[in-house]
Structure 1
Amino acid sequence: MRFISLPTLFFASLCAVSQPLAADPSPVVVELYTSQGCSSCPPADALLQRMAQRDDILPLAYHVDYWDYIGWTDQFADPDHTDRQRGYAHVAGRNMIYTPQMIIMGQEDVVGADAMQVAEVMERYLGHAAKVDIAVRLSGTELSVSMPALQPQRAEALRVQLVRYMPLRRVAIKRGELAGHTLDYANVVASHEVLSDWDGTTPFDMTVTLPDDMPAAVLVQEWPYGAVLAAARVN
């Protein structure tokens, strides 16, 4: 009898999701709320790492701080990440937050370790066309972000955000629920800042200075804590 490991099934379910047919799809934004102090999180962390190998997915790991009390302080945790997760919960009418949680395109709440559910939701978004035509250009340290006015013209509450992230970090965990494990974490969010609010009635043009060469992405999201309408990696 041949046994198939849980990680094998876990990764196979994601790979079974077809590559997109759209010529220029917008990447699917997957926010994983995770912690080095959470024993249920490693499968979700591993899945996110697998997602990071695909150009049509923009996976982002937001490490939260509410597991730190158990005895291991997650060095990537940020209370702002916890506040962002709470914001999603509040808008959705949920009374609790948890790890590992994936928020897909700002809309779908999925248990991050449930590979089959994640794959099912991802299939609905892969290959989708962006709802906002976003263009980013990096010249030296200057990042330019531009978008035409929405068509048909309409006023919306949108937030343009800049995310900086670390592609891969390896951590030896010495205390807490995962004591003794050395784990890899992909696309760890180092900062998430608001560039501007925008109503879409006029073209958007903005230039900001990036202090280093850390990977970055720009998100355009209905606000507060609504659908992600477009995303672009900064190359």
Structure 2
Amino acid sequence: MVIELYTSQGCSSCPPADALLNKLALDENVIALALHVDYWDYIGWKDSFANPAFTARQKGYAEAAGRRSIYTPQMIIDGTHDVVGNRAKDVTAIVAREAGIETPVSIRLARSGDALSIALSSDAPVGPVDIHVVRYRAGDTVSVERGENAGRDLDYSHIVTDWDVVARWDGDSPLTTEVPVSGDLPIVVLAQEPDYGPILSAARLK
């Protein structure tokens, strides 16, 4: 299960969602990814983890769902479920429903030095699938000096640093591809239907 949290250091509603994401990530079956957006930077505090590409990804989900606006904190679960990220009861209800659902795609990862091998297969055709490679930092603490969270020391976890689409798979014949990687940050590989569709499977190398 993949949980994307769209969050910001400049959002006073976000710290409970950040803490909830860290709690959910204690489950080994959960891949938690915190994507910091930049559209709250104007109110006085520039988010040190924000990336315009993460804002663009959140906008892509909104457009795919026919929504005109985006917000924080937002959790998107497996690319299909949209929920306010600080509403713990709603989030945990969705997580409980999704737990144990078998994925239609198998992903196998192997790393040798600066090369990552990705092998994908499926028992039945699943249609076109985009292959995403994501890197994240385990955690950090930020002392916020301005904005809505001024004066607070905020703890963050699973901070996404890089997100790249590296291949498109036809979803039929098995695929093995190799991509360059560097550094020792955890690696997540997602198989997601194009245009912000469902995430069919995910795997991680810590």
TM-score (norm 1): 0.85
Q: How does 1:106-121 map to 2 (within 5 A)?
A: 106-121=79-94
Q: Which has the higher strand share?
A: 2
CA distance in 2, matches of 1:78, 1:34: 11
Q: Which residue of 1 aligns with 2:159?
A: 188
| 1:139 Cα deviation from its structure 2 partner | 2.1
Q: Which SS does the other structure have where 1:118 is aligned?
A: helix
Q: Which SS does the other structure have where 1:180 is aligned?
A: coil
Aligned length: 206
Q: Which residue of 1 aligns with 2:194?
A: 223
CA distance in 2, matches of 1:176, 1:48: 22
Cα contact 1:133–1:147 (8 A) shared by 2: yes
Q: Say which one has the larger Rg.
A: 1
Cα contact 2:104–2:123 (8 A) shared by 1: no
| 1:67 Cα deviation from its structure 2 partner | 0.2
Aligned AA (1:181): R
Question: C-alpha offsets along residues 157-197 of structure 1, whole Å, 9 cap, x if unaligned?
Answer: 21000000001111000000000000110100000001101
Residue 207 of structure 1 pairs with residue 178 of structure 2: yes
CA distance in 2, matches of 1:130, 1:153: 13
Residue 68 of structure 1 pairs with residue 66 of structure 2: no
Structure 1 residue corresponding to 2:131, chosen from 152, 155, 160? 160
Cα contact 1:52–1:186 (8 A) shared by 2: no
Q: Percent identity?
A: 48
Is the alpha carbon distance of 1:32 and 1:153 closer, same or farther for their aligned partners in structure 2, counting shifts above 3 Å?
closer
CA distance in 2, matches of 1:78, 1:229: 25
Cα contact 1:37–1:68 (8 A) shared by 2: yes
Residue 126 of structure 1 pairs with residue 99 of structure 2: yes
Residue 170 of structure 1 pairs with residue 138 of structure 2: no
TM-score (norm 2): 0.97
Q: Which residue of 2 aligns with 1:31?
A: 4
Q: Which residue of 2 aligns with 1:151?
A: 123
* Superposed CA RMSD: 1.0
Q: Which residue of 1 aligns with 2:77?
A: 104
Gaps of 5+ in 1: 1-27
> Higher mean Cα deviation, 171-180 or 135-144?
135-144
Q: How does 1:35-54 map to 2 (within 5 A)?
A: 35-54=8-27
CA distance in 1, matches of 2:167, 2:11: 34
